[in-house]
Structure 1
Amino acid sequence: MILQGPILCFVGPPGVGKTSVGRSIARTLGREFHRIALGGICDQSDIRGHRRTYVGSMPGRIVNGLKTVGVNNPVFLLDEVDKLGKSLQGDPAAALLEVLDPEQNHSFTDHYLNVAFDLSQVLFIATANTTATIPPALLDRMEVLQVPGYTQEEKLEIAHRHLIPNQLEQHGLTPQQLHIPQDTTQDVISRYTREAGVRSLERKIGAICRAVAVKVAEGNRVPETSSSGQEPQQEDKAAPPEMPIVIDHVALKDILGPPLFDMEVSERLTLPGVALGLAWTPLGGEIMFVEASRMEGEGQLTLTGQLGDVMKESAHLAISWLRANAKTYQLTNLVGGPDPMEGTDIHLHFPAGAVTKDGPSAGVTIVTCLASLFSGRLVRSDVAMTGEITLRGLVLPVGGIKDKVLAAHRAGVKRVILPKRNEKDLEELPANVRADLDFVMTGNLDEALNASFDGGFPGKSSVRSHPQLSSKL
């Protein structure tokens, strides 16, 4: 019987449990589990094997994995399938096409065996951080399941149900010796880690357990005796610590040091020309500041922050739309003229300049940032936004909504501006996140600007037509 089930591919940021889910599937099905790390493989012989005429020839990783587990129906986890390489020795991604195709893998031929082998009973599960680097033909063989990052509440439950008990066991401690309150765990999550998964959180909890283990070992240390059998006198003998050792905020700072991350959203939005956007990365959603300044010049636009071509186009679109609507929105330049760019140079900067940024979803943020700069008004400090723009002022849908909204929730944002056509994506969000945030669904830039400023933004609230078409209507 040929297994015609789908080839699952879990796509998500690191540390969200993709590999653990694959291992749990194998345990639930009662099958053997074998993990194949594909990161860095650049030789197709690693998949198909070497011919026996070569010195040091061996089977490929698929057949070798079957030999390891000893059965023909295991669960194979193809880890990091997005990090396959390519070299003069062939393309391993192309060799995987036959392995992951249910219509062909019943007669898979390994070069070492040189006979057809039936892989139809094997359940293949792949993991990846992003689908951008997976070849389209290979991606077509798999059914992609997005695994987003965790919310603050989910991380708190994971820490107290799994991470803390596991770390206590690994460090030889008991709950009677160490107690980490939920407030302390929340502080670790928000101020010492900034990630979509829980890998860094587990490391921080491990650091706390090691510090406590030292204190417990020092308190239980047996004093050394001299050759005469008498205990040497110790002037400063430390008293054993009281059990359990409770980790409060003071002890947390002593162990982990000063906080690594601060809630800087309100501090950064104190001047006109600053807006808060939302970006998607392979590591999860992130907040992204956009800053703009102007000075006397010749109407030039300077872009910094290691931007891609698509994001540069979004900046030019934002400038063109604001210039076309400057009179309607009462925007002026430094000398008070009707054209915001006349005699004015604009510098648009995206901080974290060492990180490459690209994509169309920053369009709404750039427009809001420049509108704040030209009008001299402050953007609301609790607003984050995302969305692609057009030259007509429409706001188009973008991807990664769940990861972006979770990043806004982690940063303490209260209002999120999203494209109206992304409203269906809100159903994927946890109920507590939807309750904590105020979502404003916008179809055009006029609605986005009104939601970004206190008291709205003076503009086309009464006139909705395009300025170039209003004379013809």
Structure 2
Amino acid sequence: MANQNELTVPLLPLRGLLVYPTMVLHLDVGREKSVQALEKAMVDDHLIFLTTQKDISIDEPAAEDLYQMGTLTKVKQMLKLPNGTIRVLVEGLKRAEIIHFHEGEENFSASLKTYEDRESKDVEDEALMRTMLEYFEQYIKMSKKISAETYASVADIEEPGRMADIVASHLPLKLKEKQEILETLDLKERLNKIIEIIHNEKEVLNLEKKIGQRVKRSMERTQKEYYLREQLKAIQKELGEKEGKTGEIKELADKIELSGMPENVKETAMKELDRYEKVPSTSAESAVIRNYIEWLVAIPWTKSTDDDLDINKAGRILNDDHYGLEKVKERVLEYLAVQQLTNSLKGPILCLAGPPGVGKTSLARSIAKSLNRNFVRVSLGGVRDESEIRGHRRTYVGAMPGRIIQGMKKATTINPVFLLDEIDKMSSDFRGDPSAAMLEVLDPEQNHNFSDHYIEEPYDLSKVMFIATANNLGTVPGPLLDRMEIITIAGYTELEKLNIGKDHLLPRQIREHGLSKSQLQIRDDAFQMIIRYHTREAGVRSLERQLAAICRKTAKIIVSGSKKRVVVNENNLEEFLGKKKYRYGQAELQDQVGVATGLAYTTVGGDTLQIEVSLSPGKGKLVLTGKLGDVMKESAQAAFSYVRSKTKELGIDEDFHEKLDVHIHVPEGATPKDGPSAGITIATALVSALTGRPIHREVGMTGEITLRGRVLPIGGLKEKTLSAHRAGLKKIILPKDNEKDIDDIPESVRKELQFVTVSHVDEVLKHALNEGDK
């Protein structure tokens, strides 16, 4: 091996690649320093030194990260690709070793000592070359991965060093082994190494062939899948590993034994496991069976939590988490009491009905906490497919259990508190009616053997405490309602909102915004103003958003260093929340003619409606506006007919319907309104307009009217009364038959309102119209 003089050229580190002398190949170069090195080589004499990195993960290699021995190459061609990388064609010239490594700012370079293979060959070289060629030919025939043309091109080479390098480049060697061959400068030693490597590769190929033959003898020729499985077994046996699927089958069998499932379900699971063992792993059926077994094992069959039956403790938890809502709390404590006495009560099915933001979902979570049960929530909003509840049959691709069984898997016990959120938002289409599927879930007489299409085995839901929530019971099918115990949460009074805000919402928002109690204080007068002038709702969601806005502004003030402590009161509230958004109370500022205040029930709580009547010269035309529903239009027609029939008693011109057009309007025309409870309100407004007598501004009324003037009962009295209280009204006129519902109204509201029960419109007019202006 002859040494040459030192040479300094640009250096290009390679990742996962090695180039031998005389090799010609393409490289893609993307690293900035490598690109600079290439460009420098192109400017100089096209020479560049290629050496391999020891660790391919390093982006910026140093001298110690590179092998010292590499290949001096000539850049034949360079092409810039659209993605920014450079494709370069290089030809290996000779081995070279780094004497000095130069790390420039733009590129690497190195001073090299180059080595050239001797050209003359002796008898031993010839013998080694022939042996290597013979072995290489045998290897090509056995592996069938290298073409015969490659062998022909190698056989024509006469230089021993060049032949050794080209043969090495075609062998499946690891990078470290390739580097060893590159660093072997002695020709005889290099040829011997390559002969030894080819010999080892032949042994591996022979062993593979033996395994294939052994498998082939033990199988039927027509069963390709069986052949593959047996081949895998033979390979594993050769490697000393245990059979692949056996361990998996044993693991699943152990899980089935420990799951506590009933005997009939266990029998089904073991049959499926037996099928799974026989079905090939490559078959699609294999994954389906395994998925089914895993679901059977994952569902709780016997595991349960012990109920905490301490009524006093449960009462404390419910009171700490929620202010008010006495009926719901009382119902939960009743359940606990009966459970303590009998220890066998089936899980009750409660339905918490009320407007958004009154705490239905969080109340269910508190019930689970007070009972020491796991809690799981399933949202039913937008569910249209019966399979969402009952699951899909296993014949379908991607089949899985319904939401009930999925929820039980999440719960991990057989007696959780299971929240069916937004049960009124389910709908039906051509795929089935999910509310019909819910009947079995929520029927205490049926749910002990609930059937899911995917599981196909009866599952006991009788120990589950189901709690449903709904905003509007009107959209829930009757048979479904019949199976649930309805508990109505009407909304909160101003006092309740104040307490909820102070004790629950504000501390939570302070914590979530990284503040401390000492940094923010909101006075009661400011709280009251937020509730009255910045929110209008039955629940407290909007109130919490306003408190969050105050916390954000407080955080900004404290972080900027303006103040260390913020106190919000009625004087500076506008700085935090801006101008008042709502007018507190909708009571008129003075008594009005032809304007009556009605009380309405909506899905978000109660509301007040100003019903206006206007008279104009005409021919007795009745005009109704305000986007009224059919029922409300009929109430207006009934009220109009009643007033016409009582013109003499009321002191109204008997011919008014021939001389005047009557226009009845309910403001906020974009909002749809319907229901029978505006009957007496429309009649009062009509009489006021026709007689010129004003209506007391602090009177609100609700009730259905008949043609004879009878006042019929209505629903939603609690919600309507709360809205009247919010609106600043003082007297409520309601049907006599609704007198029993007054007890449901919070005492704090009852104290501030005067309730007048009536059975005829004459009584309504007596209390509503201002007698002094007759």
* TM-score of the two chains, using structure 2 as the length reference: 0.55
Aligned with 1:41: secondary structure? coil
Given the superposition, is the C-alpha separation of residues 402 and 66 from structure 1 closer, same or farther in structure 2, using an over 3 Å criterion? same
Distance 1:271 1:58, change over 3 A: same
1:5 to partner: Cα distance: 4.1
1-side partners of 2:655 and 2:593: how far apart? Answer: 19
Contact preservation (8 Å) 2:586, 2:608: no
Say whether 1:409 aligns with 2:762. Answer: no
Structure 2 match to 1:97 = 439
- Counterpart of 1:262 (choices 570, 583, 596) is 583
For the residues of structure 1 that align with 2:459 and 2:753, how far apart are their CA atoms?
A: 54
Q: Could you tell me which residue of structure 1 aligns to residue 356 of structure 2? A: 14
**Is the Cα–Cα contact under 8 Å of residues 2 and 121 in structure 1 kept in the other structure?**
no
Structure 2 Cα separation of the partners of residues 259 and 38 of structure 1: 37
1:171/1:209 contact within 8 Å kept = yes
Correspondence for 2:375 among 11, 29, 33: 33
Separation in 1 of the partners of 2:558 and 2:474? 49
1:401 to 1:177, Cα distance in 2 relative to 1, 3 A = same
Is the contact made by 2:358 and 2:539 (CA closer than 8 Å) also made in structure 1? yes
- 2:550 corresponds to: 208
| Counterpart Cα distance in 2 of 1:27 and 1:176 | 30
Cα-Cα RMSD = 1.5
Which residue matches 2:35? Answer: none
State the shift of 1:267 in Å: 3.9
2:714 matched residue in structure 1: 398
Distance 1:328-1:165 versus aligned 2 partners, 3 A rule: same
- Which consecutive residues of structure 2, in runs of 5 or more, have no partner in the other structure? 1-342
Q: Provide the rounded CA distance (Å) in 2 between the counterparts of 1:202 and 1:356.
A: 28
User: Partners of 1:304 and 1:396 in 2: how far apart?
Assistant: 24
Q: Judge conservation of contact 2:584–2:726 (CA < 8 Å) in 1.
A: no
1:173 deviates by: 1.0
The structure with the largest helix share of the pair is 2
Amino acid at match of 1:72: I
Relative to structure 1, the CA distance from residue 2 to residue 106 in structure 2 (aligned partners, 3 Å threshold; closer, same or farther) is: farther
Q: CA contact under 8 A between 1:10 and 1:144: conserved in structure 2?
A: yes
Does residue 165 of the first structure (1) align with residue 507 of the second (2)?
yes
Q: How big is the shift at 1:6?
A: 3.0
Deviations 1:269-320 (A, max 9, x none): 6541111000000100000110111111111101011111111111111111
Aligned to 1:461: none
Q: Does 1:299 align with 2:620?
A: yes
Query: Residue 423 of structure 2 aligns with which residue?
Result: 81
Are 1:395 and 1:442, in contact at CA under 8 Å, matched by a contact in 2?
yes
Partner of 2:688: 372
Q: Give 5+ residue unaligned stretches, structure 1.
A: 220-239, 333-337, 459-473
Match status 1:432 vs 2:432: no
SS in 2 for 1:132: helix
Say if 2:427 is the partner of 1:111.
no
The offset of 1:435, in angstroms, is 1.1
Identity %: 53
**Shift of residue 451 of structure 1?**
0.6
1:249 equivalent in structure 2: 570
Code of the residue aligned with 1:98 in structure 2: it is E
In structure 2, the partner of 1:288 is: 609
Q: What letter corresponds to residue 412 of structure 1 in structure 2?
A: G
**CA 121–264 in structure 1, closer or farther in 2 if over 3 Å, else same:** closer
Q: Whole-Å Cα distance in 1 between the matches of residues 684 and 496 of structure 2?
A: 33
Identify which of structures 1 and 2 has the higher relative contact order when contacts are C-alpha pairs closer than 8 Å and 6+ apart. Answer: 1
> How many angstroms apart in 2 are the aligned matches of 1:71 and 1:131?
30
Q: Give the Cα–Cα distance (whole angstroms) in 1 for the partners of residues 694 and 620 of structure 2.
A: 23
How far the C-alpha of 1:85 sits from its partner, in A, is 1.1
Q: Deviations over 1:178-233 (max 9, x none)?
A: 110000000000001010000100000000000000011111xxxxxxxxxxxxxx
In structure 2, distance between residues paired with 1:391 and 1:383: 23
1:346 alignment counterpart: 662
Letter in 1 for 2:444: P
Q: Which residue type is aligned with residue 140 of structure 1?
A: D
Q: Matched residue pairs, number?
A: 432
Equivalent of residue 4 in structure 1, options 329, 341, 346: 346
- 2:497 aligned with 1:122: no
The CA deviation string for residues 390-441 of structure 1, in whole angstroms up to 9 with x for no partner, is 1111111111111101100011111111111111111111222111111111
How far the C-alpha of 1:244 sits from its partner, in A, is 2.5
How far apart are 1:250 and its partner, in Å?
4.0
| Residue pairs, 1:213-228, within 5 angstroms | 213-219=555-561
Which residue, 612, 633, 638 being the options, matches 1:312? 633
- 1:259: Cα distance to partner? 0.8
Structure 2 Cα separation of the partners of residues 177 and 41 of structure 1: 45
Equivalent position SS for 2:572? helix
How far apart in 1 are the matches of 2:586 and 2:358?
26
Amino acid in the other structure paired with 1:249: E
Q: Which of 305, 308, 329 is 2:650 aligned to?
A: 329
> Structure 2: how far apart are the matches of 1:340 and 1:159?
54
Equivalent-residue separation in structure 2 for 1:5 and 1:66 (angstroms): 15
